[in-house]
Amino acid sequence: MQTEPVYLTEPYLRQMSARVLEILPEAAKRFRVLLDTTVFYPMGGGQPTDQGILSWGGATQAKVYQVMMKEGEIWHYLESESVPFEVGQVVLGELDWERRYQNMRVHTGGHLVDFALFRLGFVPEILKPLKGDHGKKPFVLYEGSVVSHAELSPDSLTQAIAELIKEERKLSWEFAPLEKLQSDAIYLQPGLPTHKPLRKLTLDGVGSVADGGTLVRNTAEVGSVTINAIEEKDGQVKVSYQL
């Protein structure tokens, strides 16, 4: 990877200065750009893409409408009337912070679903986490069954998450090799990425999991999480939630 993914270590950083490494045309008035560093999170792991602007030469700017990881590289997709700048040029980037911070809170909320189920004794023995979606209709998907566990309901899980939030527990993260995750994590979801660094996310006093997205530093920042539904079908359990 040619781009330093600053978002993995400093998710609260909103602006950046970067050098252009490559520019490719995509369609009419659209281009994709490779930079040497970025604060923009590329869509993946269930978390939506960041958006924002790149600016250069004073007042000139272009909208970053999408960021994607393709063939191991982080590409910024721009809307611009013409080729926006030259390779080697320095540009300034600024996130749509309202969008990013909401994504951070929703993503962290998904982890709180996991951690609450862990504290309740369901993860990973009864429910094995498979994947999550942290967009407009967020959910976490598990392998397993809770048909015989009437004590688990949307209300009881909402309350368990509320306790984690009320406790104002710290979240921290660090890069970690797979071997470290295998020994430290309360579970490892299938299909961990091989094209980007792995990180260990730790909820203070509760446990650690693998993660590659952007997160808030304290459970209190999430605000609240409401479990809308716990649905079971074909050996899988879908937990839908909202902030």
- pLDDT given at position 220: 98
pLDDT in tens, 174-196: 999 888 999 999 999 877 877 66
User: 44 and 145, same structural domain?
Assistant: no
Q: Is 121 left (phi over 0), alpha (psi -120 to 50) or beta?
A: left
Here the CATH number for the domain that contains residue 190 is: 3.30.980.10
Question: Which stretches of the chain score pLDDT less than 70?
Answer: 195-196
- pLDDT given at position 198: 85
User: 52 and 158, same structural domain?
Assistant: no
CA–CA gap between residue 68 and residue 169 (Å, rounded): 31
User: 143 and 81, same structural domain?
Assistant: no
- pLDDT given at position 114: 97
Structure tokens at 214: 């952007």
CA–CA gap between residue 42 and residue 36 (Å, rounded): 14
> According to DSSP H, which parts of 92-177 are helical?
97-119, 154-166
User: 112 and 60, same structural domain?
Assistant: no
Number of domains in the chain: 2
Of 68, 95, 122, the position where a domain reaches its end is: 95
User: 225 and 127, same structural domain?
Assistant: yes
Using alpha carbons, list the distances in angstroms from residue 119 to 21, 93, 114, 163: 46, 40, 9, 11
Check the CA dihedral 92-49-213-156 and report its sign.
Answer: positive
- pLDDT given at position 57: 82
Check the CA dihedral 158-164-167-170 and report its sign.
Answer: negative
> According to DSSP H, which parts of the chain are helical?
97-119, 154-166, 178-184
- pLDDT given at position 103: 98
207 is in which domain, residue-wise?
100-242
Complete DSSP assignment for 126-149:
TEEEEEEE-SSS-EEEEEE--TT-
Beta bridge partners of 37: 4
pTM score of the predicted model: 0.94
Of 95, 118, 150, the position where a domain reaches its end is: 95
User: 238 and 123, same structural domain?
Assistant: yes
User: 111 and 78, same structural domain?
Assistant: no
User: 104 and 84, same structural domain?
Assistant: no
Here the CATH number for the domain that contains residue 51 is: 2.40.30.130
